[in-house]
């Protein structure tokens, strides 16, 4: 049964940092890629990729790393999104599926996100217009050149990171043992998904205060509209209604979220983050993927609604692909279910067993 948590407690939980890092042996660092060339021809003399790791890489007698796990975050997120009780507390602890004492867990911040190079560092709208292919190439450089990992036990990702997971499988088909894309589709972003992304970008660009990216203060009107659309995009009607069953609770949550996100987000960063999906379309090369794939979506995900019937068709192109549609339950939370392994960890266990060497 869904429990109704007092509003104040929910707001306090939302305001807490993602994770008490002292509970885990987390290491952080920055890897600098010199003279990084973007797919459209733009360059940066130095591209910084921030990352966090847990555990230690273990090599077999041939020198191949056998225990590295790469986990990729969603749009506007960062690697520390996974250092929560709901995620790390379910997967990274002693005896759990990705026990950090046994696995080497890599949590990068994508280009334009978190502690990695991004428009708000100073270049603003003159920052290169990266796309997902650029992000995956930078992740690969971090893993191989920065962390000296030559093989991945697992690549997993949520939302945007889910899309990157498909691209990893196609770009480096022999580099990993298994792939787990969570909450996305392996096709071009179109229909309502694309429209809502365009609404977010247009809201920012059409605010006169944006000033072609050269604003002195955040364009509040455009950012408020963009955040409103983003919240609707990833919302879960059933879960939200259970948690905020009165008018006053719903209004208080909305206003608290707007204030929090307006304080945290940068307009250029958010604009670039959504624009990065413009070239995504792995559908034509799904047959290149060699590793077993466990693709998971939830039936209440409004970003990837199952009634589109896309995944059952596309998964057939994957040699060792399996698609799981999680039914709506008291545990699922729409698109956010991707970060609730308590719901899908059984399928991760199956994937790890299936792909074990």
The total domain count for the chain is: 1
The per-residue pLDDT for range 103-116, each reduced to its tens digit, is: 999 999 999 999 99
Is residue 43 situated within a structural domain?
yes
Under 8 Å CB-to-CB from 92, ≥6 apart: which residues? 24, 54, 98, 99, 100, 105
pLDDT at 110: 98
Provide the domain limits for residue 72: 7-192+274-354
- What is the structure's pLDDT at 14? 39
Quick one: 247 exposed, middle or buried, by C-beta within 10 A (0-12, 13-18, 19+)?
A: exposed
220 inside domain: no
Q: Say what the pLDDT of residue 22 is.
A: 54
Cα separation, 348 vs 40, in Å, equals 36
156: domain CATH number is: 3.40.50.1820
Classify residue 258: in a domain, yes or no: no
Residue 235 maps to a domain = no
pLDDT at 20: 47
Q: Does any domain span residue 237?
A: no
Is 56 part of any domain? yes
Residue 153 lies in a domain: yes
pLDDT at 282: 98
Distance (Å, rounded) from C-alpha 23 to C-alpha 100? 12
Instruction: Identify the pLDDT of residue 25.
Output: 84
In what order do the strands lie in the sheet containing 68-72? 26-37, 43-54, 104-108, 68-72, 154-158, 179-182, 293-298, 321-326
Q: What is the DSSP string of 137-190?
A: HHHHHIIIIIS----BSEEEEETHHHHHHHHHHHHSTTSBS-EEEES--SS---
Q: Does a structural domain hold residue 158? A: yes
Which sign does the torsion angle of CA 216, 263, 273, 177 carry?
positive
Q: CA nearest 294: which of 169, 140, 151, 143?
A: 169
CA distances from 280 to 188, 192, 200, 304 (A): 6, 16, 18, 15
Full pLDDT tens readout for the chain, 357 residues: 333 333 333 333 333 334 444 566 899 999 999 999 999 999 999 999 999 999 999 999 999 999 999 999 999 999 999 999 999 999 999 999 999 999 999 999 999 999 999 999 999 999 999 999 999 999 999 999 999 999 999 999 999 999 999 999 999 999 999 999 999 999 999 999 999 999 999 999 999 999 999 999 999 999 999 999 999 999 999 999 999 999 999 999 999 999 999 999 999 999 999 999 999 999 999 999 999 999 999 999 999 999 999 999 999 999 999 999 999 999 999 999 999 999 999 999 999 999 998
Where helices occur in 22-159 by DSSP H, the ranges are 88-91, 132-141
pLDDT of residue 357: 82
Query: In terms of DSSP bridges, do strands 68-72 and 43-54 run parallel, antiparallel, or are they unpaired?
Result: unpaired
pLDDT in tens, 324-356: 999 999 999 999 999 999 999 999 999 999 999
Q: Determine the number of helices (DSSP H) and then strands (DSSP E) in the chain.
A: 11, 8
């Amino acid at each position: 049964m869904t429990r109704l948590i007092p509003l104040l407690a929910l707001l306090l939980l939302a305001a807490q940092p993602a994770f008490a890092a002292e509970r885990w042996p987390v290491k952080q660092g920055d890897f600098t890629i010199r003279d990084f060339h973007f797919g459209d021809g733009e360059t940066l003399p130095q591209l910084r990729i921030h990352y966090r790791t847990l555990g230690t890489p273990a090599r077999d007698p041939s020198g191949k790393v056998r225990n590295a796990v790469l986990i990729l975050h969603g749009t506007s997120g960062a690697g520390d999104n996974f250092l929560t009780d709901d995620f790390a507390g379910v997967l990274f602890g002693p005896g759990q599926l990705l026990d950090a004492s046994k696995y080497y867990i890599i949590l990068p911040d994508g280009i334009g996100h978190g502690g990695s190079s991004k428009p708000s560092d100073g270049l603003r709208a003159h920052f290169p217009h990266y796309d997902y292919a650029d992000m995956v190439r930078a992740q690969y450089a971090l893993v191989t050149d920065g962390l000296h990992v030559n093989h991945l036990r697992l690549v997993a990702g949520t939302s945007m990171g889910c899309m990157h997971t498909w691209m990893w499988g196609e770009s480096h088909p022999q580099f990993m043992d298994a792939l787990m894309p969570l909450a996305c589709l392996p096709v071009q972003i179109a229909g309502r998904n694309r429209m809502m992304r365009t609404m977010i970008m247009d809201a920012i660009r059409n605010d006169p205060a944006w000033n072609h990216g050269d604003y002195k203060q955040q364009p509040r009107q455009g950012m408020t509209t963009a955040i409103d659309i983003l919240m609707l995009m990833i919302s879960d009607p059933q879960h939200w209604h259970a948690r905020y069953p009165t008018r006053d609770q719903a209004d208080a949550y909305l206003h608290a979220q707007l204030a929090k996100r307006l304080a945290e987000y940068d307009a250029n960063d958010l604009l670039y983050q959504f624009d990065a999906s413009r070239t995504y379309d792995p559908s034509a090369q799904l047959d290149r993927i060699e590793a077993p794939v466990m693709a998971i979506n939830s039936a209440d995900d409004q970003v990837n609604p199952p009634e589109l019937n896309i995944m059952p068709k596309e998964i057939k192109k994957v040699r060792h692909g399996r698609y799981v549609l999680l039914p709506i339950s008291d545990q699922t939370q729409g698109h956010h279910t991707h970060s609730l392994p308590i719901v899908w960890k059984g399928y991760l266990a199956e994937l790890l067993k299936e792909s074990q060497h």
